[in-house]
Every structure is written in C-alpha cells, then in structure tokens.
Amino acid sequence: MTLESITGGTVSGNKGTVEFTNVQPNDTVSATVTCTVNVDENTTLTNKVTAGEKSAQASINVKKDEPNITISKGGYVGTSGNTYIKGEENDVTYTITIRNDGIANGTFSFTDNVPTEDKDLNDLMGKIQLVHMSYQHEASKEDANEQKLAAYETEFNDLYKKVMENEHMRDYEVARAEIDEMMHYITGILALCIQGEDPATCEPEEEHHHCGGDCSGCSGC
C-alpha cells in the first residue's frame, strides 16, 4: 500500500505526519489519509497510527482480481423430499448452483453425471465405447486393416441401433428435443427484442427439428 496524501499534513516516503493544535476539550478533529493498493492477492492490509504512547489501527481486505467459484447441487423427488418411491413419484429434479464470490467475471462449464439403473444400457454404452476406441486405434496405424475397420464399423452401427432402441434412451431423446425446441424459442424471442420488437407480443419463426437417432441421412443438428 502506498501513501498518496494526507489532509493538513505532510508525506515523506510511505509515512504521513499531521499535527493538530489547540484541540479544545470535547472537540473532535480528523484527517483523511489517501492510499493506493498495489497488490493483486488475497490478503489483509493493516494501517497503524501512533501519537505518543497512544495508537490505533484499521485493516482492509484485499481480493485478487479473479473469480472465486463455489458449486453446490441439490435434488428432490416430487413432494417426497430426496426419497424415490417407485410407482408414486416419477420426476427427479436436480438444481446446480454456481456462485462467484470473486471480483472478476468468469465463464464456467460443468459436466453432470446423471445416475442410471439401466444395466443393459450401461453395458451397451461400455461396448460401444470399446469398439470406438478399437476403431480409432486401428485407423491410426500406417498399415490399417480395412477389413478390421469395416468390422468395427458394422459392430458400432449394430450397437448404436440397440442403444437408440433402449426405452430410457428414447425417453432421453424426446426430452432433449423438447428442451432444444424451448431454447430455440427463447433465443428467437431474445433476438427479436434486440431488433426492437415487443417481448410481450413478438413471436419467433417456428423451426422444428426432430432427431430420430439415425444420423445416416442427417444434414446436421
């Protein structure tokens, strides 16, 4: 911390001197000391003043110019708290909260691993990942075996078809399509507002894109 100025006093180096004269009984006088902070770290700076045998001090907290993130997650099932009862409740809701206690803006991404009890789907996903890794390993060779690559591709397509036929995966795809459509609608509203439209009355152009899971004839999501 660097001392810049002091009202009614003098500055020498990083010390300031001020003299109060003829201070009457029950009177209060004050001086203003101006300093600059030149550290960029999380710390505490303490300033001390002395007058003979008397002294006083004050401290300030300094925060580094960076974001400081905490993340929390909570979940509940319908109206049953955090207990899932099969046949009574179906909707499980998780809330992810990110808080920035720093003094700088930050952009953050997170990965959410949702638990599943579908052993068949988990097994299929594990197999499809192994086939994918095997294909990449073979394709990276200078003398890659085309027959092996073709066999891996066939196996991958067969497994992929089974994955997309799984009940839980179908439900996920339907939910994802609904969320994508909602986000497209919200983005359209925001775009129209930027152009000066009234958010209460404007309607974005509808654009429906339904993914059936078969990417062979897809022009791109």
Backbone phi and psi for residue 213, each to the nearest 5 degrees, phi listed first? 100, -20
Give yes or no for residue 83 having a pLDDT over 80: no
Pick the more confident residue, 123 or 200.
123
Could you tell me if 127 and 157 are in contact, meaning their C-beta atoms sit under 8 angstroms apart?
Answer: no
Most confident of 43-47, 71-75, 164-168, 195-199: 43-47
Q: Give the pLDDT score at 26.
A: 86
The chain-wide mean pLDDT, for the chain, equals 76
User: What would the mean pLDDT of 117-140 be, rounded to a whole number?
Assistant: 80
- Of 53-57, 152-156, 207-211, minimum mean pLDDT range: 207-211
pLDDT digits (tens, 9 = 90+) for 179-198: 677 667 767 777 777 787 77
Query: What is the Cα–Cα distance from 92 to 79, expressed in whole angstroms?
Result: 10
- Residue 173 or 200, more confident: 173
**Average pLDDT rounded to a whole number, residues 67-88:** 70
**Whether the predicted pLDDT of 156 surpasses 80:** yes
pLDDT at residue 208 tops 60: no
- Higher-confidence residue: 114 or 174? 174
pTM reported for the whole predicted model:
0.34
CB atoms inside a 10 Å sphere around CB 60: 12
Percent of all residues in the chain with a pLDDT value above 90, rounded to a whole number: 0
For the chain, what are the domain ranges?
2-62, 66-115
What is the tally of helices (H) and strands (E) in the chain?
A: 3, 8
Phi and psi for 170 in degrees, rounded to 5?
A: -65, -45
Euclidean distance between CA atoms 214 and 118, whole angstroms:
22
Q: What does the pLDDT average to over 149-169?
A: 84
Would you say residue 107 has pLDDT above 60? yes
